[in-house]
A and B are shown apart, each in its own frame.
Chain A
């Protein structure tokens, strides 16, 4: 079957990282499904339409195997399409269009709401430590600043790729007092910090947060110093697959992000390892700030069931080759 060229374009842009950032990837995928539905030219039966949408979902999912926002966006739409049992193709198309729009809207407003909710937690004159470059975490900081709370920010430089520089630039442009520190100095500065605010790549079912390497160092150092740790995460960062015990894969990136080609040539026996993320256990996190409100990390399951209940069921059904009609699927596991 032929797929609209816009869909291929979006898939390529996600793959080549022209489209990056969890939110943008998710919205692009939702948009691709919406376009695909609108341009459907196949046979006029619901079964064929669902197969067509499933195939497009597969193309999209393969672009970035580790980003959780992507399967969440795609399955948010495909699960609803299946569960609403459309009677004809035009109704099915409507469902895809509407759920795609819903998802895009929800994602667009989420970061803003997180900023509002999170900023209430920041007191006047506080000093914040942040790591890497997280849109959601920055939204909290910027909201607090705009409320005139006169805050000061420490930003880690975030080796190997120096995303801390982008954070510093963004905050400086807002007129916020920013100090860059080496990643190794997080325990040294922790005494001066009132709150830690970081983003998340993925939130697992038990509330563990997968985020840029170094996040767990900071959370531990904060825990030791009794400094509160907040994770700003849109609900599409929560991983439905972890509910059924799947592990979150940690990507290891090119050593050349850490050392140059010359070093590698001169030191062929030095192994360079470059994991992109680490896992912060829930006990070091005081709260996760989502657009649905502030939750303890241990309540991540609640968000997952509320937001992705159907998605989780679909994961289970596909993983264990069950039929949708099997109401007692959980007993068969």
Chain B
């Protein structure tokens, strides 16, 4: 299958919210890259296809830090093989290896986060969560395996109604789970002992970018003195910028909340604004659970320094790497 077709399928699944978790988003992107690498017939085509894929996916989800971090690793490897003018088979092997390592790292990160996160669940807890997070699901599974008794409130999480899927999956694990509308967060916060949220990215100041509604839930928890835990692999750290409002939050398509028939009834001039994500300020997050341990959001810079061995964190910009690869291709 041609790279364009594979990529456009992937993009469709992201935009239409079929891919709900940001971990899943990276997994699917890596799978697509694997196929594209295997099917490429020249080194040039291989390089161009990888750049094309990464460029397209990042365009629709510029906020996905894990996507950018994994892409950086792959692009750096690609730059090496392109400048060395490696044989196609060697280049393929090196790149596939790199992807394999990334996948392995993602899996082991989730496993460790689940173990650490499950320790923070106390028997009798009533946990509130929103949206579909693969990492949070693993934490719950782990805590259940440890024989802890707890229950979960999950919000519907529009747009995308992820909460219905979360409720369904959790109930099948044997967990007592209650589905509520997003508007009922504050109503039920009184009966909640802890909030667990997934993340799309963690900024240098400890701010967390997550599914829209997460920042509202964190605020409401803060008001009620309920602790908020965010589960995020260090692969989700955003090194390039202090995130905040600098990056434009992607918008979901109108039909996700307003089907055509409904719009016709209201009037064609009605507008919609459907952010997919929002930003939780660090003061509403009690701790971030990473594979390196539980850490205060304000201490994120420390962890960043340890991971990159430099401060301020200097991670190569993926656009610059892509451009430099294209330069090499042109000159060669």
Residues of A within 8 A of B (CB): 154, 156-160, 162, 165, 168-169, 172-173, 177-189, 212-214, 216-217, 220-221, 224, 258-259, 263, 266-267, 269-275, 278
- Chain B residues lying within 8 Å of A212, measured Cβ to Cβ, are 183
Q: Taking A159-B181, A168-B270 as contacts, is the C-beta distance between A224 and B219 under 8 angstroms?
A: yes
Residue pair B270, A172 in contact (C-beta under 8 Å): yes
- Shortest Cβ distance from residue A222 to the other chain B in the assembled complex, whole angstroms: 11
- Chain A residues lying within 8 Å of B213, measured Cβ to Cβ, are 182-185
**Of A156, A221, A270, which contacts B171 at CB under 8 A?**
A270
Q: Which residue in chain A gives the minimum CB-CB distance to B277? A: A188
Comparing B84-92, B134-142, B261-269, the segment that makes contact with chain A is B261-269
Residue pair B270, A183 in contact (C-beta under 8 Å): no
Q: Does B258 interact with chain A (Cβ within 8 Å)?
A: yes
Residue pair B178, A278 in contact (C-beta under 8 Å): no
In the complex, A217→B180 CA distance in Å?
A: 14
Residue pair A184, B216 in contact (C-beta under 8 Å): yes
- Shortest Cβ distance from residue A197 to the other chain B in the assembled complex, whole angstroms: 17
- Chain B residues lying within 8 Å of A213, measured Cβ to Cβ, are 181, 183-184, 187
In the complex, A165→B262 CA distance in Å?
A: 8
- Shortest Cβ distance from residue B165 to the other chain A in the assembled complex, whole angstroms: 10
Comparing B21-29, B60-68, B121-129, B154-162, the segment that makes contact with chain A is B154-162
In the complex, A172→B158 CA distance in Å?
A: 24
- Chain B residues lying within 8 Å of A179, measured Cβ to Cβ, are 270-273
By secondary structure, the B interface counts as mixed
- Shortest Cβ distance from residue A225 to the other chain B in the assembled complex, whole angstroms: 10
Nearest 8 Cβ contacts at the A-B interface = A214-B183, A184-B213, A269-B171, A184-B182, A187-B216, A271-B178, A172-B267, A179-B271
- Chain B residues lying within 8 Å of A266, measured Cβ to Cβ, are 168
- Chain A residues lying within 8 Å of B178, measured Cβ to Cβ, are 270-273
- Interface size class, chain B: 35 or more
Residue pair B184, A184 in contact (C-beta under 8 Å): no
- Shortest Cβ distance from residue A257 to the other chain B in the assembled complex, whole angstroms: 9
Q: Does B200 interact with chain A (Cβ within 8 Å)?
A: no
Residue pair A271, B219 in contact (C-beta under 8 Å): no
In the complex, A266→B178 CA distance in Å?
A: 15
In the complex, A34→B100 CA distance in Å?
A: 81
Residue pair A185, B275 in contact (C-beta under 8 Å): yes
Residue pair B168, A267 in contact (C-beta under 8 Å): yes
Residue pair A217, B186 in contact (C-beta under 8 Å): yes
Q: Which residue in chain A gives the minimum CB-CB distance to B223? A: A220
- Shortest Cβ distance from residue A171 to the other chain B in the assembled complex, whole angstroms: 9
In the complex, A44→B271 CA distance in Å?
A: 63
Q: Does B212 interact with chain A (Cβ within 8 Å)?
A: yes
Residue pair B272, A220 in contact (C-beta under 8 Å): no
Residue pair B159, A275 in contact (C-beta under 8 Å): no
Residue pair A184, B212 in contact (C-beta under 8 Å): yes
Which chain B residues (128-182) contact chain A, with CB distance < 8 Å?
A: 130, 155-159, 164, 167-168, 171-172, 176-182
**Of A178, A214, A270, which contacts B167 at CB under 8 A?**
A270
- Chain B residues lying within 8 Å of A172, measured Cβ to Cβ, are 266-267, 269-270
- Chain A residues lying within 8 Å of B219, measured Cβ to Cβ, are 187, 220-221, 224
Residue pair A214, B179 in contact (C-beta under 8 Å): no
Q: Which residue in chain B gives the minimum CB-CB distance to A213? A: B183
In the complex, A159→B258 CA distance in Å?
A: 12
Residue pair A181, B272 in contact (C-beta under 8 Å): yes
Enumerate 20 A-B pairs (CB-CB under 8 Å) in ascending A order: A168-B270, A169-B267, A180-B266, A180-B271, A180-B273, A183-B182, A184-B158, A216-B186, A221-B219, A258-B156, A267-B172, A269-B172, A269-B177, A270-B177, A271-B179, A272-B178, A272-B180, A273-B179, A274-B184, A278-B183
